[in-house]
Copies of this chain bind each other. A is one copy, B any other.
Amino acid sequence: MHDLHLKNVRPLGAAPCDVLVRDGVIVECGAIAERPGVPVEDGANAILWPGLIDAHTHLDKTTWGMGWHENNRDGVLRSRIDYERENRLALGLDPHRQSMRHAIGLAARGATHIRSHVDIDTTHGLRLVEGVQQTRDKLQGVIDIELVAFPQSGVMCMPGTVELLDAALSNGCEVLGGIDPCGIDRDPKGQLDVIFQLAVKHGVDIDIHLHEPGELGAFTMELIFERVLANGMQGRFAISHAFALGMNDYQRVGRLIEQIAELDIAILTTGAPSATVPSLKRLKEHGVRVGAGCDGIRDTWGPWGQPDMLDRARIIGMKNGMRSDDDLRLLLETVSRGGAEVMRLQDYGVHVGARADFTLLAGETVANAVVEIAPPPLVVKGGRVVARHGVCVVDMP
């Protein structure tokens, strides 16, 4: 089952060849004769690329496919959080239906893996996680979804949240989240001590939202470095956003990046256009693992975004001032292999022995494929075709 003979594709933009998939694994690349019983797809000389990875998103939040959500509220982070928590269900934001729409959209545009933060708070308990877990189950074989237990409303400032995070990690969430220990929680030592303790207890990785800018974010990073070292969590901690690394102090940022590299902390960027963001190239020069994500798309927070990692690559690339063909290749690697490195996926790629999770991309060259506004001609997950020309085999609910 899940065999496939894919003809005439260019792996990573190289010379055209055929690819043979058996039992969901790439077993041969080259000139391949047709095998009886093995379905054939013509790649039409498209670029073959490992499945795109949305390594930072919020499947439970989008209003995609719903009526337009009017928003003339203030832009304070705390207000956004509270408005969403207090109104999301009344607004009809069903976590299962909306996460289906979001995830199917991503799959249709070439993604094969998602890391999704899902809100856990004392208003909803684990209800939002359960909705997204239903989606994960329904989309098995279409797109893999990893869940981060995410205390969007804060940890220490919302008593009862620690117990819910604990329960979520016992019930299917693979990663523990966190959020602005200073800015939101007003108790950096409190939140960080608690989440490290929980992560160690459950043996899970941590992926914390850190919007804190400048020296405030740098301070929180230093608290994180101390605890990664003390708990032996090298290679198992990710900082999402990391806006502090975009601050205008070259030396200070350099010292932070050196420690990030030394502790093998991963960075996840969304290229937030109006914030200070980490330099993708500077992080890569230090060997830091960097993935990328769409973040929230068209939700109660704001109207922007698409369920589309190529669209996100463009946003990140423009923000980072990337222009050259080499830059564009790095960008495409970040929205694919970068996410795999953060999520520590096994057998990821388009080499023999890799899982057959890949997408075809339209474009003369790899760089061209990044800027071309065109849906992927074909998306394959575990050897099975899951989308063609931007349309997923699973209908949006």
Residues on A facing B (Cβ under 8 Å): 67-68, 70-73, 75, 248, 273-274, 298, 301-304, 306, 314-315, 317-321, 323-326, 328, 363-365, 367-368, 370-371, 373
Do A306 and B68 touch across chains, with their CB atoms under 8 A apart? no
| Contact across chains for B367 and A70 when beta carbons are under 8 A apart | yes
A306 and B274 contact, Cβ closer than 8 Å, known pairs A67-B364, A72-B325, A324-B73? no
Given that A298-B371, A304-B371, A306-B373 are contacting pairs, would A68 and B318 also be in contact in the complex, using a CB cutoff of 8 Å? no
A318 and B315 contact, CB distance less than 8 A: yes
- Give the contacting residue for A303; candidates B302, B304, B371, B373; CB below 8 A: B371
Q: Which residue of B lies closest to A297 (CB)?
A: B371
Cα–Cα, bound, A370→B305 (Å): 12
Residue among A273, A303, A306, A364 having the largest count of chain B Cβ atoms under 10 Å: A303
Q: Which residue of B lies closest to A314 (CB)?
A: B304
4 more A-B contacts (CB under 8 A) besides A68-B367, A70-B365, A303-B368?
Answer: A73-B324, A75-B323, A274-B320, A303-B371
Give A298 to B368 CA distance when docked, in angstroms.
10
User: Which residues of B lie under 8 Å from residue A68 when comparing CB positions?
Assistant: 363-365, 367-368
* Bound-complex Cα distance A70 to B323 (A): 10
Complex Cα distance, B67 from A363, in Å, reads 10
- Cα A273 to Cα B320 in complex, Å, equals 8
Q: List 22 A-B contacts (CB under 8 A).
A: A67-B364, A68-B363, A68-B364, A68-B367, A70-B325, A70-B367, A71-B323, A71-B324, A71-B325, A72-B326, A73-B324, A75-B324, A273-B315, A273-B318, A274-B318, A274-B319, A298-B371, A303-B367, A303-B370, A304-B314, A304-B318, A315-B318
Contact partners of A318 in chain B: CB under 8 A:
273-274, 304, 315
Min Cβ gap A275→B in Å is: 8
The distance from the CB of A74 to the nearest CB of chain B, in whole angstroms, is: 9
In the complex, which residues of chain B have a beta carbon less than 8 angstroms from the beta carbon of A304? 314, 317-318, 323, 371
How far apart are A312's CB and chain B's nearest CB, in angstroms?
A: 12
